[in-house]
Structure 1
Amino acid sequence: MKQASKFEKIAARCWNLLNEGKPFTPIFILGTLLLFHVQSWGDLSFWQNGILALLLTVPLFILFFIYDFPLMLRNYLWIPFVVFVVLWPAIHIPLLFFAIGLYFFFTVFFWGTFYYHLRIGTSWMNFTRFWKLVLKNSDSTSGNAQEQLPKILLALSFWHMFYQSLTSANSFRVESLYGPSLFLLGFWLYTFILHRHLFDWKPEMYSTYTHENEKPGDGLSDKVVVIVIDGMRKERFYQANTPFLDKLRKGGTEYTQMETVYPARTVVCFTSMFTGTYPFEHGITSNMVWKLGIKVESIFDSLRKVGKKGRLLGIAHLVDSLGKDVDTVTAVMHNDLADRNIIDRSKKIMKEEDPDLFITQLIGTDQTGHSQGVFYDEYIQKIEEADKLIEEFVGWLDDEGKMKNTTLMICADHGQADGIGGHGHLDEGERFVPFFLWGPHIQSGQVIEDRESLVSVAPTLAHLLGTPFPSHSRGKILEKAFQQSSNEKREQHEENHRFFTGTQ
């Protein structure tokens, strides 16, 4: 399987400008204005007045960039637009309808059909399903119609109001800004109150660092293998036919209330898992990484301190966060081949590099959810394919003698709601993820219903491998999963032997 090329890494960053909702909004509005007024490009006054009107609209862009308007809060975006229309009824209907048409062309046809066909091989008829995902979508991507449309319509109307004022007047009058300024001030206050009093569903964060409450262990495992099934929704996993994963889950320790972080975007989640802390501290706040690299230590840094090695095999986006510790895989291939190739590459890394910690990201399930939705058979099929591939990989590790004192950690980085991507704002199906451990030091048949957080992954890995905690780790060691006595360890060792020899 090919690595992601330098071109693909750059292309992925460029695509995130259109994929992530915050940069998309101003880019789309600017593109809409340029396309709608294409006949005026040769008119110098259009550029002068248009740019000035755009500058006067910047406070609105800043507001949209700072505030998320997640889930139900997006419905409140229509109120300012209605107020604007009442106060300034001379809106430009053709411009707004052009923007709506362009938006659905971009999301449904260009993104949902053309892009996904070229990248992962979806059908040329994917648009017949994708439009439903755009309308249902509640996450933080540009394909969230219920959030993006009121933002776009309000910003375009605001720009047009200033543009008309500048082109129809002989000279610009400062007093003409009084009304719009009061509107903007009221909108900012309205937004602040909404987010202060109604945005209350973010996961509770740990306030102290791991090292203040825990002591590093001497190391229980020679190796830890972490398999992240990207975007696997928990109840859909339970509905799927996954005999091998069920065997690991029931033969190890399962955490049924494992919570992801906010925002639940892949690069954010992976970074939080392997640094042990939150976006405000490690610096990665979306898949759009404005400044490459993290601000804190990762579990890979902790491993280096004790002469051990870790590798992560994942998509190009993860390089933006975790840099040289990532072996990349190209995401430009038919989705039916992606996880197969990732497992083959995982075997190659384990054979040639033999890291103490190996993390691999299976992407087929997530990409199916993005392109085709989570409530269709294709999504379940990808989870079932992952089960077979993981069984093959773990069996191969055992044949290679790499499972004698190895702990397996199986999880998702986030779940998925219905809609494009379906993850970011912690809608139904996103927040709690499948999570279980299996190995010679892990208690068998244990189900833990305590609410835990994925930031506990890094300190738990440090405990298992005998490394210091990453510098800013805040998570807890998942100590309830560990064996407590030598008898329990011996019994688990015998159980693991029977697991691989098929004598259970």
Structure 2
Amino acid sequence: MKQASAFEKFAARCWNLLNEGKPFTPIFTIGTMLIYSLPRFGQDGYLTELLIGFLAVVPLLVLYFVYDFPLFLRNYIWMPVMAFLMVWHHVNYPLIFLAVGLYFFFTVFFWGTLYYHLRIGTDWLNFTRFWKLVLKNSDSTSGNAQEQLPKFLLILLAWDYAAGLPARGLGELGGLFLFYAAILLFAFILHRYLFDWKPVPYSSYTRDTEKPATGPINNRVIVFVIDGMRKERFDQANTPFLDNLRKNGTDYSLMETVYPARTVVCFSSMFTGTYPFEHGITSNMVWKLGLKVESIFDSLRKVGKKGSLLGIAHLVDSFGERDVDTVTAVMHKDKADRNIIERAKMIMDEKDPDLQIIQLIGTDQIGHSRGVLYDEYIEKIEEADALAEEYFNWLKQKGKLENATFIVCADHGQADGIGGHGHLDEGERYVPFFMHGPAIEQGKRIDEKRSLVSLAPTIAYLLGAPFPSHSRGPILMESIRRDTRK
């Protein structure tokens, strides 16, 4: 199977500039205004007016970069737009129509149709569904129409208004800046008193609350991550093999992901045992490459063991080339996970890692391109079940499961719309998570809330390695049989 090329890694980072909501808003508004201004570029003084208008909205661009308005907070973001229209009575309909048209062209046709057709082979008619997904999406990405529309419309209207101030008098800038200050206060109050659904992090480090194992309990740990698998949709799917593992192992019914629930953030937290504020990866848009803390791979090296993470190019941004075997994400949606499993077999044969982490991407891809509430999403979960069974049996036949723990989980769920995830909407927060193996309690279900940051220290305990330096998650000790603990 083809690895992710250097170009694909670069392209993935560039795409995140358009995918993540924070950088998209300024890029889109600046691009739209430049397109709108093309017919007037030759006119005397127009470039000066355009620059003045841009400088006048820089505070607003910064404000909207800092503050997201996800989930129900989107209900409030139209208020500044209405206030601007009532106070300044300034509406440029051609600019508005151009901006809205460009936005839906980018999201529905370029992204939802052309991009997904070229990347994973979706149908050329995908736009017939994707427009509905964009309107329902709740995460703060560029595909969240309910958040992006009021943001870029206000910025563009304020920019267009300020560009005309040289003719009317720059003294009116004071009123605009007072307006921005009011929006800042408004945003601060909303986020201070209404943005209250983030998970509460563990305050202490694992090393201060848990005793490390005196020796390895397992010879090997396999972590099977089905990216973006929504918990209740997994429960609805026909997954006999995974159901059997869950039934005959330990199942965590309230395993909580981290905030923000973005793939690179979640993987970073899962395999360092700590949170974004500490490991430094705060979104899929990684501005500075590399974790700030130790990962489980670093811990394993201290005891002469090795790990391998097989995943998409994005994961190199946090874990680096040494520990990540990349797979290209430019594959037909019906071949991606099959190819990943074949690559996983090659890695196991060639490297024989003590810890192998495998990221299946098909479920997440179909959720983003076709939505999570449709049959295609269930079919991908069922495909993952069949591939997990195949790989499990292959490992068993090769003797790789002797005294091994097999862990199945998702990094995050997916919400309605374009399978959005990040701000923990319904369907995102709790993920499937269960463990199976000779050292794991059988037929046990844990209904107390746990966090994915417990995965790294639990792996370290099972393999007899020290906890990662900044790990905060408690060991999932209730899943480990007492007679195997060391």
Alpha-carbon distance in structure 2 between the residues aligned to 1:312 and 1:371:
25
Q: Work out which of the residue numbers 456, 461, 464 in structure 1 matches 2:462.
A: 464
Which runs of no fewer than 5 residues in structure 2 stay unpaired?
A: none
Map 1:220-235 → 2, pairs under 5 A: 220-235=217-232
Task: Find 2:274's aligned residue among 271, 274, 277.
Answer: 277
Cα separation, partners in 2 of 1:44 and 1:383, compared to 1, 3 Å: farther
Contact 2:130 2:370 in 1 (8 A): yes
Secondary structure of the 1:425 match is coil
Aligned to 1:176: 172
User: What's the counterpart of residue 97 of structure 1?
Assistant: 97
- Bigger drift between 219-228 and 62-71 goes to 62-71
- Secondary structure of the residue that 2:311 maps to in structure 1? strand
Tell me by how many angstroms 1:45 deviates: 2.5
User: Could you tell which deviates more after superposition, 157-166 or 335-344?
Assistant: 157-166
Q: Is the 8 A contact 1:141 1:421 kept in 2?
A: no
What is the aligned length? 484
Tell me how far 1:376 sits from its aligned partner.
Answer: 0.5
Report the alpha carbon displacement of residue 205 of structure 1 after superposing the two structures with TM: 0.7
Matching residue of 1:59 = 59
SS state at 1:50 partner: helix
The aligned counterpart of 1:149 is: 149
What's the CA shift for 1:388? Answer: 0.4
Cα pair distance change 1:90/1:246, threshold 3 Å: same
The Cα of 1:279 is off from its aligned counterpart by: 0.6
TM-score computed with the length of structure 2 as normaliser: 0.98
Root-mean-square deviation (CA, aligned residues, Å) is: 1.2
Match of 2:256 in 1: 259
Pairing 1:382–2:380 present: yes
Q: Is the 8 A contact 1:13 1:288 kept in 2?
A: yes
Offset of 1:432 from its aligned partner?
0.2
State the match for 2:8 in structure 1: 8
Are 2:242 and 1:245 aligned?
yes
Kindly indicate whether the alpha-carbon contact (under 8 Å) linking 2:90 and 2:157 is maintained by their aligned counterparts in 1. Answer: no
Q: Deviations over 1:208-227 (max 9, x none)?
A: 11111011112210100000
Q: What is the letter of the counterpart of residue 458 of structure 1?
A: A
Letter in 1 for 2:314: H
Q: For 1:358-373, list aligned pairs within 5 A.
A: 358-373=356-371
Partner residue of 1:108? 108
Q: Given the two structures, how large is their TM-score scaled by the length of structure 1?
A: 0.95
| Rounded Cα–Cα distance in structure 2 between residues aligned with 1:459 and 1:391 | 26
Give the Cα–Cα distance (whole angstroms) in 1 for the partners of residues 44 and 461 of structure 2.
66
From 341, 349, 352, give the equivalent of 2:350: 352
Residues 262 and 412 of structure 2 are in contact (CA less than 8 Å); yes or no, is this contact kept in structure 1?
yes
Change (3 A) 1:477 1:101: same
> Corresponding residue for 2:296?
299
Provide runs of 4+ in structure 1 moved above 6 Å.
none
Indicate the residue corresponding to 1:78 in structure 2: 78
Return the offset for 1:422. 1.5
Q: Are the equivalent residues in 2 in contact too, given 1:456–1:477 (CA < 8 A)?
A: yes
Deviations 1:206-254 (A, max 9, x none): 0111111011112210100000000000000010000000010000000
Residue 453, structure 1, aligned to residue 448, structure 2: no
Number of the residue aligned with 1:499: none
Percent of counterpart pairs with the same letter? Answer: 68
For residues 43 and 257 of structure 1, the distance between their equivalents in structure 2, rounded to whole angstroms, comes to 62
5+ residue gaps, structure 1, are 490-504
Matched, 1:477 2:475: yes
Q: Secondary structure, in 3 states, of the residue corresponding to 1:321?
A: helix
**2:457 aligned partner, one-letter code:** P
**Cα 1:449–1:44 shift into 2, 3 Å:** farther
1:3–1:330 CA contact under 8 A, matched in 2: yes
Kindly indicate whether the alpha-carbon contact (under 8 Å) linking 1:254 and 1:437 is maintained by their aligned counterparts in 2: yes
- For residues 449 and 16 of structure 1, the distance between their equivalents in structure 2, rounded to whole angstroms, comes to 36
> What SS class does the counterpart of residue 334 from structure 1 fall into?
coil
SS in 2 for 1:336: coil
